[in-house]
Structure 1
Amino acid sequence: MEKNISEMTEKEILRQQLELLAESSKSCGDDCLAGITNSMLGIYSVLEPKDSSVL
């Protein structure tokens, strides 16, 4: 069962955003891939740097 965003922790929301960006990167062209990568790096920088479970 999927949680409502209001019930999610910040970490859960950020992980979900990473998953959505990864899914989007599969079908985007080369012109948008750099932007998606930068977005993913920005999200990751907010997560605990020692948390390797998102890698």
Structure 2
Amino acid sequence: MEQEIKFDMSEKTNREILRFQLEQLAEVSKDCLTEELSKITSSMIEIVSYLENNQSVQ
């Protein structure tokens, strides 16, 4: 069963939005099949890499 997640992005910084996305990926990964984990892990790495390479992200 999918859970609807409410997140008001209008008052959030880019860093807060990316952190929220990373937290959601981590939560979803708990219920994934092994073959799905590589895609989720890749997405997490992309988000972390973006944050590391864009220190000016608010």
TM-score interval for Structure 1 and Structure 2 normalised by the shorter chain: 0.7 to 0.9
Identity among equivalent pairs (%): 52
Gaps of at least 5 residues in structure 2 are 1-5
Normalized against structure 1, the TM-score is what? Answer: 0.79
Normalized against structure 2, the TM-score is what? Answer: 0.75
Aligned residues: 49
Give RMSD over aligned pairs.
2.0
Bigger relative contact order (CA 8 A; separation at least 6): 2
4+ runs of 1 displaced by more than 6 Å? Answer: none
Gaps of at least 5 residues in structure 1 are none
